């Protein structure tokens, strides 16, 4: 089932991985997850963005970017 998720990247990090905090509106599935190049490209210079996504086991499969949500 597709949901809207919020993707937040850290303002600063020592990690070489491009990890982000990703969660749905209810925050039932909050994870720290590495982002692929496609998602990073869709985020541009934004620190946070909202996307369509599907929960796949232990992480989110990120889809298209959507408009900013009020949460």
Q: pLDDT of 5-24, one tens digit each?
A: 999 998 876 666 679 999 99
3-state secondary structure 1-54: CEEEEEEECCCCCCCCCCEEEEEECCCCCCEEEECCHHHHHHHCCCCEEEEEEE
Read off the pTM. 0.90
Secondary structure element (H or E) that encloses residue 64, with its range: strand 59-66
- Locate the domains of the chain by residue range: 2-66
Q: pLDDT of 11-61, one tens digit each?
A: 876 666 679 999 999 999 999 999 999 999 999 999 999 999 999 988 999
User: Residue 18 is encoded by which pair of tokens?
Assistant: 């491009």
Q: Residues with Cβ < 8 Å from 45, sequence gap 6 or more?
A: none
């Amino acid at each position: 089932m597709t949901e809207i998720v919020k993707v937040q990247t850290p303002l600063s990090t020592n990690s070489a991985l491009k990890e982000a905090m990703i969660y749905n509106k209810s925050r039932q599935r909050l994870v720290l997850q590495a982002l692929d190049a496609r998602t990073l490209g869709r985020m541009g210079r934004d620190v946070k963005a909202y996307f369509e996504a599907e929960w796949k086991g232990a992480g989110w499969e990120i889809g298209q970017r959507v408009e900013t949500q009020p949460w």
